[in-house]
Amino acid sequence: MSTVVLLAVTGLGLGGLYFLVASGLSLIYGVMRILNFAHGAFLTVGGYLGYEAGHRFGAQANSWPVFALMLVVGTVAGGLLAVLVELLLIRRLYEREIEQVLVTVGLGLAAVALVSGSWGSDARTFPAPRWMARTTSIFGADVPNLRFACIVAAVLVLLGLQLLLGRTRYGLIIRAGVENRSMVAALGIDVRRTFTAVFGLGGALAGLGGVLTALYNSTVSPGMGDSLLIFAFIVVVIGGLGSVTGSAVAAAGVALLQQFANYYASAGIGDLTVVAALAVVLLLRPSGFVGRQVRLA
């Protein structure tokens, strides 16, 4: 029983990280029709700048205020970087979707190289409040607190996104844009501003995800974004491109499947199982569980 609980909480914590990356990817694809391969770079940069902000405090880096600062720095860094990328690169390539994808692939590679160049290619220990590393006993399982923290953060982001999408005019424009962006423009709405905002929002969530991924792994490393990005793409496709709720459900499902298979079968089988699940979903429901058929017209 305690093993099952431990695996479940660990899986959900990992699912929370997947969700932070996947929800941004999904919104960006939904509104802009761009598969953003630079999303892992936003996460890595967010993680490293969060690390840098905390690292400066030395022995004080394990306090809550510093951790809060690290979260803010990571989120803002991811968001700002994404806005810059959108305004300087993506915007010039509107309607040229292949080129947009190529630019994001290039950015992803360049960012990893830059991070390795600045901080070295070895993983660095990530400072966090000591409470995070302690465990809480739940149904006989001693679960590290940081896994709960990742779950709580993901749930808060999910609720925030649902409020944004469901209750605000921006959310209305985003939901409409996912369905039919040229009609949104034909109602007199500047979709380019929406594109920038959605890209920035996705980047901010990735930056937040970067700090939390570093917390989850206890380290920052240049490859952290890309290793998460692969699974986040799988989550987005299974959940349905453009659907935040779908991403949340798929993130939890994928991470749980991965954890249990890795434990009960053998390490590494979990990752294979997830890819197999992707193949099954693509065969049975090509538009994902919640997403709609992508419009080609």
Q: Which residues bind another protein (CB under 8 A)?
A: 169, 172-173, 175-176, 179-180, 182-192, 292, 297
> Rounded to the nearest whole angstrom, what is the least distance from the CB of residue 191 to another protein in the complex?
7
Nearest approach, Cβ of 297 to another protein (angstroms)?
6
The token pair that represents 133 in the structure block: 């590393």
- Cα separation, 261 vs 195, in Å, equals 38
Query: Residue 89 carries which side chain, given as an amino acid letter?
Result: L
Q: Which is nearer to another protein, 11 or 242 (CB)?
A: 242
- Distance of alpha carbon 86 from alpha carbon 97, whole angstroms: 13
Question: Token digits for 244?
Answer: 């935040």
Nearer to another protein by C-beta: 93 or 155? 93
Is the Cβ of residue 2 or residue 180 nearer to another protein in the bound state?
Answer: 180
Report the nearest approach of another protein to the CB of residue 180 (Å). 6
CB of 134 or CB of 193, closer to another protein: 193
Closest contact distance (angstroms) between CB of 192 and another protein is 8
Q: How many helices (H) and strands (E) does the chain have?
A: 12, 4
Among the listed residues 239, 214, 234, 216, the one whose alpha carbon sits nearest the alpha carbon of residue 124: 214
List all residues 6 or more positions away from 8 whose beta carbon is below 8 Å from its beta carbon: 256, 259
